[in-house]
Chains A and B, each alone.
Chain A
Amino acid sequence: MSRINRQEVDEIAQLARLSLSESEAAEMERDLERILDYVAALEQLDVEGVEPTAHAIQGVTPVRADESTEPMDPARAVENAPESAGSAFVVPRVIDEEGS
């Protein structure tokens, strides 16, 4: 039984904002199938009632002194942008003419 199909590959590619060529999508479907088949071994374990671990080291998050510090100059922060204007990042229009 297959664990993932082409339609699901296309859906997750859309969620991840990746465009796959025909051959890339076929290759990913095959690779993901094989990886999911491998990780399916975890299904054999009884994890009923086991707390999940998100972080290996569980301690108290240290709190820093509440003092103001100098933030990065916005003009420097946008220096790496492919396109910028003043201290802003420039992107293609995201709201259409009618503003709908």
Chain B
Amino acid sequence: MTTDAAGPLESVASARRALGEGRVSSAELVEAALSRAQERVALSAVVGVRPTRAREAAAASDARRAAGEALSPLDGVPLLLKDNMVVRGEPTTCGSRILEGFVSPYDAGVVERLQQGGAVILGRCNMDEFAMGSSTENSCFGPAHNPWDPTRSCGGSSGGSAASVAAGIVPAALGSDTGGSIRQPAAFCGVTGLKPTYGRVSRWGLVAFASSLDQIGPLTRSAADAADLLAVIAGHDPRDSTSLPEPVPDYAAALDGDVSGLTIGLPRECFVEEGVEPGVLASVRAAVEELSAAGAKLVEISLPHTAHAIATYYLIATAEASSNLSRFDGVRYGRRAAGADDIDELYRRSRSEGFGAEVKRRILLGTYVLSAGYYDAYYRRAQQVRTLLRRDFDAAFERCDLIATPTTPELAFPLGEKSGDPVTMYLSDIYTVTANLVGAPGISIPCAPVDGMPVGLQLLGRRLDEATLLRAADAFQRRTDFHEQRPPGPPEDPT
């Protein structure tokens, strides 16, 4: 059933080519993606599909194309969203029981832009509850699995989005990244994951976790596909007061395969043996050498406060989360505990029944660090260290155009391995959190696998310089085929 249209689903570029040449219709792509989702249901990557609305959108796209009026490179391409971006008339759960029964009365900014570009929104992807986690194990739907090895984590919190693209269910998905939640699962699943500059993509209709850090971005096969997605979703939105007004450049035009004028900084703090798996480090070093062979200049740089980034991140992110999640109170939406006699009991019982353990842990930590007597010692100090991290980046970008690091210190870890120890789990984001704290764009692209598991090279850029980031990532992918490697297919049906 899927064989005819499966090829075009492999990437945005192949879907677009097949649609443009009339070899496949959007309607066929949607059917193929729906059956792929069904075949790969054991991954728990997809938590909800909307076949009727997707088929309607595909039919409309096919009609536009027949009339020669395709709206964007994404017209007719089926996509999945992380389950924290609202779509009018559809559920949004954020992987939480507290949003049981919620149906959005409006569309997120990214949803409007995707629909204006003709993309077909197929459904929703699994995630850590309220995006709090690095493994997609903290979900009310149960853990998502890594398509390369289902006993391992697909990363998180946008794990379902990364796994869906890796498994070939859809050619692209959107995720959100607060401390690495697009880039880390991209690395674990062998796909390309882009976190744009803070403010580049509207957060209107993205359920807030940490408002000064959250950013939506694409998970795709390639940097070229990511450029197509970003071109559609980026841009100013007056409904998000932190949305940046700068014009959106032509990202696709920047992909010329040439890195000869670029200087890439290698932070000495990120290229030490300590705390990173030797195979991962070797793979990332080889990837950087490949960029050097392509003409980029490599320089050693220093980001002296790197060791303090995780602590800074967890204080700021949890403080913001404790405030943002106060809106889930059993009054306006979601789950309400039965039988409460007064309003305070209603709040406490609805929240205690609705939130999972990691969300409670972070709300408590955030409440603590914002409370009288601890605010200066924890929250204010973390904001001051955030300034030091920003200065580190500003100084580094005077010496280089891009920064290269491993995306993660290790390969995808076995499910259950870290779920009992929050601090060990948090350290999975050691190379990614700083980009969020300083607002810089970052991308993870597949480099040489280790023991059959994907590895991610992270590139970080100057604020609003996604074009250079995508150019270097694309140049690497023109010279390598790691991004084209596929995980094994679904296990044979024993019947």
Contacts and interface: CB of A to CB of B under 8 A. Distances in A.
Interface stretch (B112-120, B134-142, B150-158, B365-373): B365-373
Contact of A52 (B103, B386, B438): B386
Contacts of B438: 56
A56 B315 contact: no
A72 B311 contact: no
B308 A51 contact: no
A88 to B, nearest CB: 11
B383 A53 contact: yes
Nearest to A47: B384
A6 interface: no
B380 A52 contact: yes
A28 B364 CA distance: 8
Interface residues on chain A, size class: 35 or more
A68 to B, nearest CB: 14
B329 A17 contact: yes
B459 interface: no
A48 B346 CA distance: 44
B336 interface: yes
Given A13-B364, A31-B361, A47-B385, A42 B311 contact: yes
A92 B384 contact: no
Interface string B353-395: 0010100110111011001000000101111111110100000
B385 to A, nearest CB: 6
Given A59-B244, A82-B330, A52 B383 contact: yes
Contacts of A20: 352, 360
A64 B357 CA distance: 41
B198 A79 contact: no
A57 interface: yes
A92 B236 CA distance: 41
B368 A52 contact: no
B347 interface: yes
Contact of B387 (A13, A50, A77, A78): A50
Interface in B305-331: 305, 307-308, 310-312, 314-315, 322, 326, 329-331
B105 A34 contact: no
A51 B384 contact: yes
Contact of B347 (A17, A59, A93): A17
A12 B3 CA distance: 56
A39 B315 contact: yes
Nearest to B422: A31
Interface stretch (B51-59, B337-345, B399-407): B337-345
Contacts of A32: 361, 364-365, 368
A42 B364 contact: no
Nearest to A21: B352
A85 interface: no
Contact of B390 (A13, A42, A56, A93): A56
Interface of A: 4, 8-9, 12-13, 15-20, 24, 27-28, 31-32, 34-35, 38-39, 41-43, 45, 47, 50-57, 59, 61-62, 64, 72, 76-83, 89, 91-94
A-B pairs, top 7 by smallest CB distance, nearest first, are: A56-B439, A52-B383, A82-B336, A80-B333, A47-B384, A39-B311, A53-B386
